[in-house]
Structure 1
Amino acid sequence: MTLQGVLLDIDGTLVLSNDAHAQTWVEAFAAYGYEIEFEQVRPMIGMGGDKIITKLVPGLTKESGDGQAIDERRKELVLNQYAAQMAPAKGGRELVLKMQEAGLHLVVASSASKEELETLLKAAQVEDLLEEATTSSDAESSKPAPDIVQAALDQGKFQPDRVVMLGDTPYDIESAGKAGVEVIAVRCGGFSDEQLSGAIAIYDDPADLLAHYDQSPLLKND
């Protein structure tokens, strides 16, 4: 069965943003009197912000107490301070062009807000290439729940076995797996091969996947 399309995570996959996101959480929590260490939050990057808040401060939610203010502060930091420091992942734009030339239908599957996603796509240098996307507003529950992946499947009108997802975190793998989608993982998000062991293949970054494109699951034909 020939592959129809690819679901694309952006953070950590096409743009090197995971450390920056962790730092914005540290600073946002600190602004409201919560002392959170970078090392506490970094392994959680890739799951939804609502889940990060509750895991770091049990009893606090995105909708109650300081949770909403913390999340808004984090978003401001991303948009106004840290986005300018984010570098594109090596080979990201070239890989997207290659997949499009190969006839693959690409849909972004991101938990970012629409405003954040626009900024991230610019940082990844692919904003002119990727038009179809799902954002946090398209999902009732964030990663590692399957909602975002399912929304991307629906938008692309895909069957789960006719696509793969490109991601960088164990939460991408868990989220996609619950929706019946296999994942190609990249290490540039900072997670170990053990943490990414649920992926069907692991590459250093988009450039590495591009270099091995002809032997990769992107040529799935079974």
Structure 2
Amino acid sequence: MSDDLRLVIFDVDGTLVDSQADILAAMDRAFAATDHPVPGRTDILSIVGLSLPEAFEHLLPDAAGPVRARMVDAYKDAYTELRAAGGVALSSPLYPGVRAMLDRLHGVPTTLLGVATGKSRRGLDKLLEGHDLRSLFVTRQCADDHPSKPHPAMLLEALAETGVPPHRAVMVGDTEFDMAMAASAGIPAIGVSWGYHRPERLSAAHAVIDHIDELPARLETIWESA
């Protein structure tokens, strides 16, 4: 491990990109496929960040496992169709200022970037390719390879891949699942207020920012105190 390197790990949906339109539409199709009433927008967005099996378990705790499995498949199919129809830039646009900030952080030789997301590997790859972001991230952790957030496995693997110690890493995300995952991994966390969980749900964060431009100063404050 090296104290010279620093690692910033980003959540994706609700942090880097606004994919809620396709998430809500895919959920509509998933619930219709099994003749269940569709939850409200707030309920659906409250589970963004979880892996799909865990998300449907939260939304339909009384449904049988095979029913939820069909909903997972229906959601994946619908999301793929929606992304193909609209293109990544339209279906999951980057939040304002995100690309410039990623480029800025990537330009610092001692700062490494990573992602930890509840997306599938296929979904993450399509999104990174669509926005030409793949080359920016040296570690990419997703739901196919790990237990769902808030289990710390994604972050622990990111640390192992990069050789960065926990106190030199920071998790940036928009949900309480991101904050809890970071705490379990011993990593400081920064919450963002523009995502899918209200700021008061991010109480475990070391700081909550309202615009991506605030990120560098918050990172330095965390690392200086480490």
Q: Which band: TM-score by shorter chain?
A: 0.7 to 0.9
The reply to whether residue 94 of structure 1 matches residue 95 of structure 2 is no
Return the letter of the residue paired with 1:67. R
Change (3 A) 1:100 1:52: same
Change (3 A) 1:33 1:173: same
Who is 1:191 aligned against? 197
> Which of 206, 209, 212 is the aligned partner of 2:214?
209
Return the letter of the residue paired with 2:198. S
TM-score, normalised with respect to structure 2: 0.85
Q: CA deviation at 1:123?
A: 5.3
CA distance in 2, matches of 1:153, 1:86: 27
Return the letter of the residue paired with 1:117. L
> Quick check: which one's helix share is greater?
2
What are the equivalent positions in structure 2 for 1:38-187 lying under 5 Å apart?
A: 38-39=40-41, 40-60=43-63, 64-82=65-83, 83=88, 84-102=90-108, 103-122=110-129, 124=131, 126-139=133-146, 141-187=147-193
Change (3 A) 1:172 1:196: same
Return the letter of the residue paired with 1:51. E
What are structure 1's unaligned runs of at least 5 residues? none
Any idea what SS the aligned residue of 1:108 has? strand
Return the letter of the residue paired with 1:41. I
For the 8 Å contact 2:10–2:172, the answer to whether it is kept is yes
- Using the TM superposition, name which of 1-10 and 181-190 deviates more: 1-10
For the 8 Å contact 2:128–2:134, the answer to whether it is kept is yes
For the 8 Å contact 1:153–1:160, the answer to whether it is kept is yes
Count of aligned positions: 215
Q: CA deviation at 1:167?
A: 0.7
Q: Give every structure 1 segment of 4 or more consecutive aligned residues whose post-TM-superposition deviation is greater than 6 Å.
A: none
TM-score, normalised with respect to structure 1: 0.86
Q: CA deviation at 1:59?
A: 4.1
Q: Which has the higher contact order (CA 8 A, sep 6+)?
A: 1
CA distance in 2, matches of 1:7, 1:66: 34
The reply to whether residue 6 of structure 1 matches residue 8 of structure 2 is yes
CA distance in 1, matches of 2:74, 2:220: 38
What are structure 2's unaligned runs of at least 5 residues? none
